[in-house]
Amino acid sequence: MEAAPAPFLASLVNELERHPVNSNAFFETFHVRVLTRAQLRTFVRQYHYFCKHFVKLLEGLLYRTPVEQVDMRSELIKTLHSELGSGNPQRAHIRLLNKFAKSLDLDEVDLDRTVPIPEVVAYLGLLHRLFIESDHLTALGAEMAVEVTAGSEFRYLYPGLRQYSAFNEDELLFFKLHLNEEQCHSAWLIDAVQRTARTRDEYDRVAAGARETADGWQQFWSGLYREVFESAGLRRE
């Protein structure tokens, strides 16, 4: 059997790249507005909560992927290896994000006390269902959507944070690093789909997982917009 036709995959990737989540209200506002310290703390608490739990979900996806799906497992391992610092524990992504949080006087004990907003809980629940409980092709589509859409956030977040003199480049390394890292992650997952999906039905399962994930990511950022820019987050802080 031949791999999923290239036009189908290219069309799906293009659809994900054009999804509204890539230029949502949170990104646009964060990029141009100067936030208070309380707003930044609200943002990093919720974002850190997601990032910490996402790595565990990615490990779960690798575990649940059938052993014979070597191509898919190989690309997932590369992505997970990158998340964990590519062999350097000090550059594990969650540790770099911890460093940024510390610049806002949030240590790991503070972060562990974070109460996630409903949209963060809902998105993590969605990824758990798609990564852990769905078939491997739906799960692969979900993870591809995560990586294809992730790159856009850093094109807003990193420049937005650079306008604050309080942060140095070392503290912003998490955001700067992902400008390039997400391009790699995206390419790896697209390649995994190309090498794993074999029929139109399999491609459709990939696409279903991808679309549901992109929509869930949009709701995630809508929730953060409310918390950070509409004052609910300030009351929580």
Query: Is the separation of the CB atoms in 46 and 224 below 8 Å?
Result: yes
Distance separating alpha carbons of residues 177 and 211, to the nearest angstrom: 26
Rounded to an integer, the average pLDDT of 122-135 is 98
The per-residue pLDDT for 231 is: 64
pLDDT tens across 153-192, in order?
999 999 999 999 999 999 999 999 998 888 899 999 999 9
Dihedral through CA 161, CA 108, CA 56, CA 209, nearest 10?
A: -40
Rounded to an integer, the average pLDDT of 139-158 is 96
Give the single-character DSSP code of 33.
S
User: Is the pLDDT confidence value at 237 over 60?
Assistant: no
- The fold for domain 6-236 equals Heme Oxygenase; Chain A (1.20.910)
Query: Is the separation of the CB atoms in 73 and 62 below 8 Å?
Result: yes
The per-residue pLDDT for 181 is: 84
Distance separating alpha carbons of residues 2 and 10, to the nearest angstrom: 16
pLDDT tens across 179-232, in order?
888 889 999 999 999 999 989 999 999 999 999 999 999 999 999 999 999 964
**Residue 153 C-beta-side C-alpha neighbours within 13 Å:** 20
Distance separating alpha carbons of residues 231 and 221, to the nearest angstrom: 15
The per-residue pLDDT for 144 is: 97
Query: What's this model's pTM, rounded to 2 decimal places?
Result: 0.93
pLDDT tens across 70-115, in order?
999 999 999 999 999 999 999 999 999 999 999 999 999 999 999 9
Q: Where are the domains of the chain?
A: 6-236
Rounded to an integer, the average pLDDT of 15-22 is 97
Query: Is the separation of the CB atoms in 209 and 145 below 8 Å?
Result: yes
More confident residue, 94 or 1: 94
Amino acid letter, residue 36: T
More confident residue, 237 or 130: 130
User: Is the pLDDT confidence value at 236 over 50?
Assistant: no
Contacts of 201 (CB under 8 A, 6+ apart): none
The per-residue pLDDT for 228 is: 97
User: Is the pLDDT confidence value at 62 over 70?
Assistant: yes
